[in-house]
Amino acid sequence: MTDAKKIDLKKEQEAVLARPRLKYGPVAKFLFWSMDVIHGKETTLPKAKLLEILARIPYQAWEIRQYGRMNSKFADDGTVSEAREVINWGRDAQDNEFWHLRVITERMKDLGVKESFFHKHFIPPVAVLTYTLFSRMLALVNIKAAYQLNAEFEDHAEHTYMQFVKDHPELEDEQVESNAAAEYDDFASWADVFRRIGLHERDHMNHSLVHCGREAEVVPYLN
């Protein structure tokens, strides 16, 4: 992976917006359509918050599956090694997505962004329960399809964040005063914070593409 300190965030953003999205399957299309129905087509902080709440769920489902494999094939070094790799990758991704959620939540609080009772207390638990059940079932039935769906989810997230920065040029001049953002790096602007989040989503997408056998579609960094 490219050193985060050497990445030209603005050039990467331009490259993302010029890059065609992955071809999304029916499940991904339904998921994104549902989020548009709930929050509108425009990307807002509450919509990004819901995106991040859901983002960790597939990795949790994969971890459960991999522990099941290790329990039944603990004497098979190959299976154990493969399972551990997925678990470690998934845990890193979950930590990363949780950081995104903290940043967005803190940003909303600082800006005084309010959510309705419906969007704050009803939608998230229903969405989490539904996506958790589906993700666990898919992980058990067809793990390759689970990786592929996650690649589509993360590709959508990367494009979403880069478009959000483009739609809000005022972020370029806004200094970052955020304890959550500082946990990762010293950012020059809020535009860079969201660009960095977008590139994290690319990393997650690339890992998912490799695991579902689509290595040729991995998106490299410019540097």
The CATH number of the domain holding residue 182 is 1.20.1260.140
Residue 222 lies inside a defined structural domain of this protein: no
**Segments forming the whole domain that contains residue 127:** 4-217
Question: For 176-200, what is each residue's pLDDT tens digit?
Answer: 999 999 999 999 999 999 999 999 9
Residue 84 lies inside a defined structural domain of this protein: yes
* pLDDT tier at 2, thresholds 50, 70, 90: very low
- What residues contact 165, with CB distance under 8 A and at least 6 apart? 13, 171, 191, 194, 195, 198
Residue 74 lies inside a defined structural domain of this protein: yes
Residue type at 200?
Answer: H
Among 102, 219, 83, which residue's Cα sits nearest to residue 154? 219
- In the chain, alpha helices (H): 9-18, 26-39, 45-55, 57-72, 77-111, 117, 123-141, 143-167, 179-182, 190-211
Structural domain count, the chain: 1
* pLDDT tier at 4, thresholds 50, 70, 90: low
Residue 87 lies inside a defined structural domain of this protein: yes
Among 151, 185, 190, 153, which residue's Cα sits nearest to residue 170? 190
Residue 150 lies inside a defined structural domain of this protein: yes
Share of the chain above pLDDT 90, in %: 92
Residue 14 lies inside a defined structural domain of this protein: yes
Residue 182 lies inside a defined structural domain of this protein: yes
Residue type at 173?
Answer: D
Q: Give the helix/strand (H/E) hosting 222.
A: none
Q: Is the pTM of this model over 0.85?
A: yes
For 124-170, give the secondary structure using H, E and C.
HHHHHHHHHHHHHHHHHHCHHHHHHHHHHHHHHHHHHHHHHHHHCHH
Residue 223 lies inside a defined structural domain of this protein: no
